[in-house]
Amino acid sequence: MSDIAATPGDAATPGDVARTPSEAAARAAKRPVGAAAKRGRIKLSRVGLYAFLITITFVWLMPLLVAIYEALRTNGDVVKNGIFSFPQSLTLDNFTTAWGSTEPSFPQAYLNTAIVTVPAVIVVLLVGSMVAYAVSKYSWRLNLLVLMLFTAGNLLPQQAIILPMYRLYSTHLLPWPFTDNGGNLLYNQYIGIIVIHVIFQLGFVVFVLSNYMKTLGHEIIEAALVDGAGVFRIWAGIVMPLCKPAIAAMATLQFTFIYNDFFWALVLMSTQDKRPITAALNTINGQYYTNYNLLAAAALLAAVPTILVFLALQRYFVRGLSLGATKG
Amino acid sequence: MADKPVTSAAPEQPGKSGLPGAAVTSASGSRQAGRSGGSSFRDRAPFNRLPFIGRQRWHLLTRKDKLVLAVMVGIPLIFDLILIWGSVLVDFFWSLTDWHGFGAMTGGGPSHQFVGLDNYTQLFSGTYPFFWTAVVHNIFWLAFLMFVATPLGILMAVILDSKVKGLVIYRTVFYIPVVLSLALIGIIWQLQYAPDSNRGWIDGVLSWLGYSHPVVFGIDIPFVKDIPLIGQWCRDVSHTDWVGGPLAIIPTVIAASWRHVGYITILYLAGLQAFDPTLREAASIDGANARQTFFKVVFPVMKPINVVIVVITTIEALRAFDLAYITNGGRSPLELLSTLITNNAISESTRIGFGSAIAVVLAVVSLVPIVIFLAMTMREEKQ
């Protein structure tokens, strides 16, 4: 399972470098006569390749560029001159207007997101790594079944389980100590959103981390057990430090997943002012429907945190996704 | 499912087994056999290579250790079973009633009645027309992702895997949509699709091509408008309400593809970079060109990741919700199975029995790719 170590971040591995010259040499040796023509054709196909790449990259960037372009112009300017025109002036006014006038306002929405995302990511990683550890490092009768139940649970569409969850959240009084709405319902509470995120994301974390843990050597755990260390100490002192790369990747990925969640908070949170940013987009969309420039600014403001995290932690993000897929 | 029949037979001849992993057992009562088997393997094979070596470790655990492990797995498992799998079961029971959400579910009364499979009959017979439309939309969503977006993602991965200049730029551009939420993507694409050639650039370009409006930065090239069918099509399509028209599912799934392509590129690129370069080298020495190398060598060897990608694409299509919901509340003409559940039973009406029936259909259909995926993963595990 050496593929775990493969980070898509570094595309040109030493193997790649060595590959092409030998390839070219092999071809040249085989057909010395056509070599010049071949080189010409290769050059042409190279040009075609770059033309394709640059075009499609531009097309891919277009939606974001348009959003930025709209956000920097005034509504009056675009209405009057159309989108295909040079801007009269560029302004940040749309951002400042959107910042305070959405419901919830952006500072509040970011705060809501932080209140939900930070504890959810921490708890899901802690709990998920424990389950993954117990499932992958010790064998008991049903551990494969448990792993499958967790993984499959995460792959179900959220809507497949929402009706009972909604009912549970909105009608069943629970002896919950952290109420922030005075009642005992999980509905419309940060803690309720955190709980559902943890439960739902757990399957993904368990699946990926257990795959990762299986690649760690077993002797060290065996040795620790023989030396009399308890399973909890082995988890905290040996397995977790060894899993740092995977944990970092999962933390980045889980942050993005939970930040981007639209559905849970939309359905299980009724107070606008308590909704995290992504769920709040639904209201913002309705609110600014008539002013695309404000809408674009608001959308970009909502996108900034994930894009920043991605640019800073691209390696981890990509590794997290590929850990789930390439473990084979 | 978890315990294979192989394990029960194995301890009798631990030394002879060629596959040590299959020989070791956790079956009750065979701890002794397992242990002795383990020590003999230890002498015979590289210890850390054995996939199920953990099975021998059980006897090293104290009672407290076992208790700790039970808590570590047990508590999350109970939550997972009750809240996720329990919800699917509850969906099923509710789907057999006409419950509207008022009054208690237990104890009987006029608020709900057992109606058997009536909800399902209503769905499948077409009495509720939105259901089949939603099914068609989900299938279209799946087909578009599978046959357009996913191949494009694979193509991008293959291109980015070859040495290209400016790799970081292309890669970053393709990966950025992957970190955005689909709700946000819905908003961003509304800007692109604005049904006014003055506001939306797509509409503007089509309108310009169809009528050759001389307004785009002052440049006018009258060409496309005179091409028979295409010119007419451009004129027809411009000024239509993209996401409000009857075919709104097409622009919506294109917006979803904006994200899906990058997602597939990430996954496939990871697979390609784990690919053994000597295989490719051998192919090129044999005179295979790039296309032959990919289709005859790389693609078949990448079978595990191909399956993962097909499964992920299917699940993405079944999960589609955010984009449709933020565009028009998931109502016609953008209804999907997921939005029908929410709109029937939560946001617009409280037909919980009926909504549950749709949820059961969605869950059952989703379990098909999930089970395929798990079966494949677990089979590899055993090898």
pLDDT in tens, A234-249: 999 999 999 999 999 9
Three-state SS at A85: coil
Element (H, E) at A298: helix A292-312
In this prediction, residue A187 carries a pLDDT of 87
C-alpha to C-alpha distance for B306 and A199, rounded to whole angstroms: 28
Do B28 and B176 lie in one domain? The reply is no
Would you say A253 and A321 are in contact if contact means Cβ atoms under 8 Å apart? yes
C-alpha to C-alpha distance for A106 and A110, rounded to whole angstroms: 6
Would you say A125 and A251 are in contact if contact means Cβ atoms under 8 Å apart? yes
Closest partner residue to B362 among A149, A160, A281, by Cβ? A160
Q: Does B128 touch chain A (CB under 8 A)?
A: no
Q: Which of B20, B35, B60 is the last residue of a domain?
A: B60
The mean predicted confidence, pLDDT, of chain B is 79
Closest partner residue to B322 among A139, A222, A262, by Cβ? A262
Residue at B87 is within a domain? no
Phi/psi for A218 (5° steps) reads -90, -20
Cα four-point dihedral sign B163, B164, B166, B167: negative
Q: Is the pLDDT of residue A210 over 60?
A: yes
Closest partner residue to B48 among A148, A150, A217, by Cβ? A217
Q: Which residues of B touch A159 (CB under 8 A)?
A: 321, 337-339, 341-342, 359, 362
Comparing B282 with B182, the larger pLDDT belongs to B182
Do A141 and A196 lie in one domain? The reply is yes
Q: How far separated are the first and last CA of chain A, in Å rounded?
A: 8
In this prediction, residue A232 carries a pLDDT of 92
Q: Which residues of B touch A72 (CB under 8 A)?
A: none
Do B246 and B369 lie in one domain? The reply is yes
Would you say B210 and B225 are in contact if contact means Cβ atoms under 8 Å apart? yes
Would you say A144 and B381 are in contact if contact means Cβ atoms under 8 Å apart? yes
In this prediction, residue B200 carries a pLDDT of 84
Is A79 in contact with B198 (Cβ distance < 8 A)?
yes
Do A90 and A107 lie in one domain? The reply is no
Is A162 in contact with B342 (Cβ distance < 8 A)?
yes
Closest partner residue to B341 among A56, A163, A282, by Cβ? A163
Q: Is the pLDDT of residue B27 over 80?
A: no
Q: Is the pLDDT of residue B90 over 90?
A: yes
Do A184 and A276 lie in one domain? The reply is yes
Is A130 in contact with B215 (Cβ distance < 8 A)?
no
Do A201 and A304 lie in one domain? The reply is yes
* Residues in chain A, overall count: 328
Q: Is the pLDDT of residue B251 over 90?
A: yes
Phi/psi for B219 (5° steps) reads -100, 140
Q: Does B161 touch chain A (CB under 8 A)?
A: yes
Q: Does B182 touch chain A (CB under 8 A)?
A: yes
Mean pLDDT, residues B364-379 taken together: 89
Q: Is the pLDDT of residue A22 over 50?
A: no
In this prediction, residue A124 carries a pLDDT of 97
Do B184 and B332 lie in one domain? The reply is yes
Closest partner residue to A30 among B287, B325, B337, by Cβ? B287
Do A175 and A296 lie in one domain? The reply is yes
Closest partner residue to A159 among B81, B200, B338, by Cβ? B338
Q: What is the Cα A163 distance to its own chain's centre?
A: 26
With a CB cutoff of 8 Å and minimum separation 6, the contacts of B281 are A19, A22, A23
Do A150 and A225 lie in one domain? The reply is yes
Residue at B148 is within a domain? yes
In this prediction, residue A276 carries a pLDDT of 94
Do B37 and B155 lie in one domain? The reply is no
Do B263 and B187 lie in one domain? The reply is yes
Best probe of the B interface among A83, A199, A214, A315, by most B CBs < 10 A, is A83
Q: Which of A68, A96, A124 is the last residue of a domain?
A: A96
**Chain A nearest-CA residue for B274:** A3
Write the pLDDT tens digit of every residue in B114-144. Answer: 888 999 999 999 889 999 999 999 999 999 9
- DSSP single-letter state for residue A236: I
In this prediction, residue B336 carries a pLDDT of 96
In this prediction, residue B143 carries a pLDDT of 97
Q: How far is B127 from chain A (nearest CA, A)?
A: 22
Do A183 and A284 lie in one domain? The reply is yes
Do B168 and B313 lie in one domain? The reply is yes
**Chain A nearest-CA residue for B363:** A160
Q: Which stretch, A13-17, A301-305, B2-6, B199-203, has highest mean pLDDT?
A: A301-305
Place of tokens 């079978």: B303
Write the pLDDT tens digit of every residue in B221-234. Answer: 556 777 778 778 88
Q: Does B139 touch chain A (CB under 8 A)?
A: no
Which range, of A227-241, A296-310, B3-17, B295-309, averages the lowest pLDDT? B3-17
Q: What angle do CA B185, B188, B189 make, to 5 degrees?
A: 85
Q: Is residue B161 packed enough to be buried (19+ CB in 10 Å), middle (13-18) or exposed (0-12)?
A: buried
Write the pLDDT tens digit of every residue in A75-102. Answer: 888 888 888 788 888 889 999 999 988 8
Q: Is the pLDDT of residue A215 over 60?
A: yes
C-alpha to C-alpha distance for B227 and A213, rounded to whole angstroms: 61
Rg from Cα positions in chain A: 26
DSSP A105-141: -HHHHHHHHHHHHHHHHHHHHHHHHHHHHHHHHS--T
Residue at B157 is within a domain? yes
Phi/psi for A91 (5° steps) reads -145, 155
Q: Is the pLDDT of residue A195 over 70?
A: yes
Is A322 in contact with B169 (Cβ distance < 8 A)?
no
Write the pLDDT tens digit of every residue in A113-171. Answer: 999 999 999 999 999 999 999 998 887 778 889 999 999 999 999 999 999 999 888 88
Q: What are A296's two structure tokens?
A: 């674009």
Kindly indicate the confidence band of residue B382, based on its pLDDT and cuts at 50, 70 and 90.
low
Would you say A209 and A246 are in contact if contact means Cβ atoms under 8 Å apart? yes
How many domains does one find in chain B? Answer: 2
Is A306 in contact with B180 (Cβ distance < 8 A)?
yes
Query: What percent of chain B has a predicted confidence (pLDDT) above 90?
Result: 42
Is B217 in contact with A152 (Cβ distance < 8 A)?
no
Q: Is the pLDDT of residue B197 over 90?
A: no
Is B88 in contact with A13 (Cβ distance < 8 A)?
no
Which range, of A21-30, A143-152, A269-278, B263-272, averages the lowest pLDDT? A21-30
Q: Is the pLDDT of residue A181 over 60?
A: no
Q: What is the 3-state secondary structure (H, E, C) of chain B?
A: CCCCCHHHHHHHCCCCCCCHHHHCCCCCCCHHHHHHHHHHHHHHCCHHHCCCHHHHHHHHCCHHHHHHHHHHHHHHHHHHHHHHHHHHHHHHHHHCECCCCCCCCCCCCCCCCECCCHHHHHHHHCCCHHHHHHHHHHHHHHHHHHHHHHHHHHHHHHHHHCCCCCHHHHHHHHHHHHHCCHHHHHHHHHHHHCCCCCCCHHHHHHHHHHHCCCCECCECCCCHHHCHHHHHHHHHHCCCCCCCCCCCHHHHHHHHHHHHHHHHHHHHHHHHHCCCHHHHHHHHHCCCCHHHHHHHHHHHHCHHHHHHHHHHHHHHHHHCCHHHHHHHCCCCCCCCHHHHHHHHHHHCCCCHHHHHHHHHHHHHHHHHHHHHHHHHHHHHHHC
Do A168 and A119 lie in one domain? The reply is yes
Residues 245-284 of B with CB under 8 A from A: 258, 261, 263, 266-267, 269-271, 273-274, 277, 280-281, 284
Do B40 and B149 lie in one domain? The reply is no
The mean predicted confidence, pLDDT, of chain A is 83
Three-state SS at A180: coil
Best probe of the A interface among B273, B367, B376, by most A CBs < 10 A, is B273
Mean pLDDT, residues A269-286 taken together: 90
Q: Which residues of A touch B160 (CB under 8 A)?
A: 11
Would you say B154 and B308 are in contact if contact means Cβ atoms under 8 Å apart? no
Nearest CA to B100 out of B88, B89, B113, B87 is that of B113
Q: Is the pLDDT of residue B212 over 80?
A: no
The CATH number of residue A127's host domain is 1.10.3720.10
Write the pLDDT tens digit of every residue in A41-83. Answer: 667 778 888 999 999 999 999 999 999 999 999 888 888 888 8
Residue at B76 is within a domain? no
Q: Is the pLDDT of residue A26 over 60?
A: no
Do A117 and A49 lie in one domain? The reply is no
Residue at B191 is within a domain? yes
Residues 333-362 of B with CB under 8 A from A: 337-339, 341-342, 345-347, 352, 355-356, 359, 362
Do A173 and A198 lie in one domain? The reply is yes
Do A175 and A146 lie in one domain? The reply is yes
How many domains does one find in chain A? Answer: 2
Kindly indicate the confidence band of residue A10, based on its pLDDT and cuts at 50, 70 and 90.
very low
Residue at B226 is within a domain? no
Mean pLDDT, residues B151-177 taken together: 91
Residue at B102 is within a domain? no
DSSP A182-215: SSS-STT-HHHHHHHHHHHHHHHHHHHHHHHHHT
Kindly indicate the confidence band of residue B19, based on its pLDDT and cuts at 50, 70 and 90.
very low
Whole domain around residue A12: which residue ranges? 2-96
In this prediction, residue B103 carries a pLDDT of 57
Comparing A33 with B67, the larger pLDDT belongs to B67
In this prediction, residue B217 carries a pLDDT of 61
The CATH number of residue B167's host domain is 1.10.3720.10
Whole domain around residue B314: which residue ranges? 128-195+241-382
In this prediction, residue B149 carries a pLDDT of 97
Size of interface A-B (CB pairs under 8 A): 376
Do A63 and A151 lie in one domain? The reply is no
Preceding amide of B333 cis, omega within 30 = yes
- Alpha-carbon separation of residue A283 from A295, B50, B183, B289 (angstroms): 11, 54, 11, 53
Q: Does B380 touch chain A (CB under 8 A)?
A: yes
Q: Which residues of A touch B187 (CB under 8 A)?
A: 281, 284-285, 295, 298-299
Q: Is the pLDDT of residue B360 over 80?
A: yes
Mean pLDDT, residues B209-216 taken together: 62
Q: Which residues of B touch A305 (CB under 8 A)?
A: none
Mean pLDDT, residues B179-200 taken together: 90
Q: Which of B60, B79, B96 is the last residue of a domain?
A: B60
Q: Which residues of B touch A303 (CB under 8 A)?
A: 180, 184
Q: Is the pLDDT of residue B186 over 90?
A: yes
Q: Which residues of B touch A298 (CB under 8 A)?
A: 187
Write the pLDDT tens digit of every residue in B32-45. Answer: 333 333 333 333 33
Q: Which of A55, A71, A96 is the last residue of a domain?
A: A96
Mean pLDDT, residues A304-327 taken together: 86
Q: Is the pLDDT of residue B1 over 50?
A: no
Query: What percent of chain B has a predicted confidence (pLDDT) above 70?
Result: 78
Q: Which residues of B touch A306 (CB under 8 A)?
A: 179-181
Residue at B278 is within a domain? yes
Is A322 in contact with B281 (Cβ distance < 8 A)?
no
Q: How far is A182 from chain B (nearest CA, A)?
A: 23
Mean pLDDT, residues A313-319 taken together: 90
Q: Which of A52, A78, A96 is the last residue of a domain?
A: A96
